[in-house]
Amino acid sequence: MPSAYSLERAMGWDSVRRMSATALACSVLALGLFVGPFAQNASADTSGDMLLLNNQLRFAVGSPTIPADPRVVQAAQNHANYSSANGVGGHYETAGLPYYTGYAPRDRVIAAGLTTTFVSEVATGGSALGGVAQLWDAPYHRLGMLHPQATSVGWGYSTLGGRSSVVGDITYDFGFRAVDFVRSPADRQTSIPTSWSGRESPNPLPAGVSGPVGYPIMLIYSQGRNVAMRAAEIVAPNGTRLPIYYAPQEFEYDYQVIVPQQPLAANTTYHVRFDINVSGVMVTNEWDFSTGTTISGSPAPAPIAPPADSGLHSSWAGQTSVPLLQPAATSQVTVSFRNTGTKTWTKGTAGTQVALGVRNDDVSFTALGLNSGWLSANRVAVQNEASVAPGAVATFTFTVKAPFGAGTVKLPLRPVIDGVAWLEDQGVFVPITTVVDYHSRWVSQSSYPTLRMGEVSTPLTISFLNAGSQTWVKGTLGQEARLGVNLDDATWAALAVNWPYTTRPAVQTETTVAPGTLASFTFQIRGPSQPGTYAIHLRPVIDGVTWLEDEGVFLYVTVIP
């Protein structure tokens, strides 16, 4: 590897994670683009092969595979061209030099057309696939490449000026949890390298220590949870605990790395134990891996000939977006996949019809309420087209319903020929974002009733203005406004006269109540069994979603003998 290049990872992405949204909006630099010689682009095969290797490495440790985004690919290729043309390494560019497209990785991704918050970059020299493998072995670079919150990646490779550059740009979303944690090496993973060169910037080894050392071992928890180390150990088969280095946390705090001080033994199974604190919870995470082909000395399985290619393959070709939705609102989505195999997909024919399934047959998204007329709890649609020949595109159209809670849920999808095979898992997902903007303001109410004991009141009405931006819809849970007894106080249940629910005197009278219009709630009440004045605290509520404003609205009931 030329001395001009070292393994380096951009440090800015996690510091960006800790910035406010306002700071993020202001962090984009003005871009001055260099107009010069025709830029070299990595061939589709080169970039695709680098992506494939990255995803194979992710899959082997249990991290979800991720798709390439053409804009992220372009950003990575731009920086690879810059690095090779100018004979420099690193992640930061100087305006005015050939192939300049932005100072930092996030700037270059934005310049390529993708506005995103979290971007990480890894870079080295050497060959395209050799560079990806070398980056993976280095723990701080592996962290970005295998991170479970990664959502897209782009790989670039350049040999401009006779100097090779390998660059990977990765985007992230910390708002969902695809897996709980990722280990590398994974539990019962085999054929792990015995050693690592120790060459990485920043350097995880103590000052003055150089390689070779043992292969680094790491553990990452999802959704940015803080992982604090208490103790760790690597145990050899004879019970010996290997001396280790604890790598300092760089960039973020959701992981821990240990490095054996000496190369590991060949063909040996090791036991790893991490005693850690994960966001305030004490956790012990332990597992085994092997530098040989088997775990715990069991004989290697007899070689098995690889299965013949089934001819069934797919690649993501596009999808429509889902608008921001109020709770329980629905939206139609179409996702497209290209038939990249050699067999035609035929609708209605078992064994050749392609369905769009929820990854891993997960039914939890149906339980969450996203299912709106799907084929089943984990099959959202089948191909629309009667037949899809090799090279053609199939579309899958279905409807999603927004969950009640505010936030974004990512529905992971994958094509499947039921009874035959799942097709490629490219990390495809549909984001469904629920926005809650329900508000009310008291307008008027009937006079307070005076009743005899046990007497039923005349109909009483309380009116509220819809002061939010979302319509109240009668009969739709998550959108229907109801008049509730504050905090579900069931004390007054015995006084109810045909209330729809024990602590809900009424639902909105109107079919729909648009923002800025009035809703009326009409109900009756029975006089308590003892004389006196009774105060019932009332408040609008969208059940399943939120209570609306508490304006101190009361119904005072006076009971006379």
Which of residues 120, 144, 173 is at a domain's end?
173
CA distance 8 to 123: 6
Is residue 164 in a domain?
A: yes
- Total domain count, the chain: 4
In the predicted model, residues of the chain with pLDDT beneath 70 are 1-45, 297-308
8 within some domain: no
Closest listed residue to residue 524, CA positions, set 496, 548, 503: 496
Residue with tokens 């959108």: 479
Domain boundary among 148, 173, 198: 173
pLDDT score for 315: 93
**Sign of the alpha-carbon dihedral angle for 385, 389, 392, 396:** positive
What pLDDT sits at residue 1?
A: 24
| Segments in 138-222 forming alpha helices (H) | 139-146
Tell me if 550 is assigned to some domain: yes
Same domain flag for 320 and 411: yes
Quick one: 448 and 392 in the same domain? no
Q: What is the CATH number of the domain that holds 467?
A: 2.60.40.10
Which helix (H) or strand (E) segment holds residue 434: the answer is: strand 429-434
The residue whose two tokens read 């101190």 is 552
Task: Tell me: do 325 and 282 sit in the same domain.
Answer: no
Q: Are residues 261 and 331 in the same domain?
A: no
Strand order in the sheet with 244-246: 181-184, 217-221, 255-260, 244-246
Answer with the one of 434, 454, 478 that is the final residue of a domain.
Answer: 434
The model's pLDDT over 38-56, given as tens digits with 9 standing for 90+, comes to 344 444 457 887 887 888 8
17 within domain boundaries? no
Structural domain that includes position 164: 47-173
* Domain identity same for 145 and 216: no
For residue 233, the domain's CATH number is 2.60.40.1220
Residues 504-559 have pLDDT tens digits of: 999 999 999 999 999 999 999 999 999 999 999 999 999 888 899 999 999 999 99
* First-to-last C-alpha distance (Å) of the chain: 98
Q: What is d(CA 80, CA 165) in angstroms, rounded to the nearest whole number?
A: 5
Q: Give yes or no: residues 188 and 250 share one domain.
A: yes
For residues 248 and 338, membership in a common domain is answered with no
- Note the pLDDT of residue 307: 55
Q: For residue 59, tell me if it sits in a domain.
A: yes
Shared-domain flag, residues 58 and 166: yes
Structure tokens at 249: 């946390």
User: Is residue 232 helix, strand or coil?
Assistant: strand
Cβ pair 32, 96 in contact under 8 A? yes
Q: Which two tokens stand for residue 49?
A: 């092969």
Q: Is 269 found in the same domain as 165?
A: no
pLDDT score for 3: 26
Is residue 20, in this structure, part of any structural domain at all?
A: no
User: How far apart, in whole angstroms, are the C-alpha atoms of residue 224 and residue 216?
Assistant: 21
**Backbone dihedral angles phi then psi of residue 493, each to the nearest 5 degrees:** -60, -35
The pairing of beta strand 387-388 with beta strand 429-434: unpaired
User: What is the spatial distance between Cα 461 and Cα 524, in angstroms, rounded to a whole number?
Assistant: 9
Same domain, yes or no: 168 and 55 = yes
Helix (H) or strand (E) holding 278: strand 269-278
Same domain, residue pair 419 and 529: no
Q: Do 70 and 145 lie in a common domain?
A: yes
Helix H segments across 100-170? 105-111, 128-137, 139-146
Contacts of 240 (CB under 8 A, 6+ apart): none
Would residue 35 count as lying in a domain? Answer: no
Using CA atoms, how far apart are residues 465 and 514, in angstroms rounded to an integer? 9
- Asked whether residue 487 is domain-assigned, the answer is yes
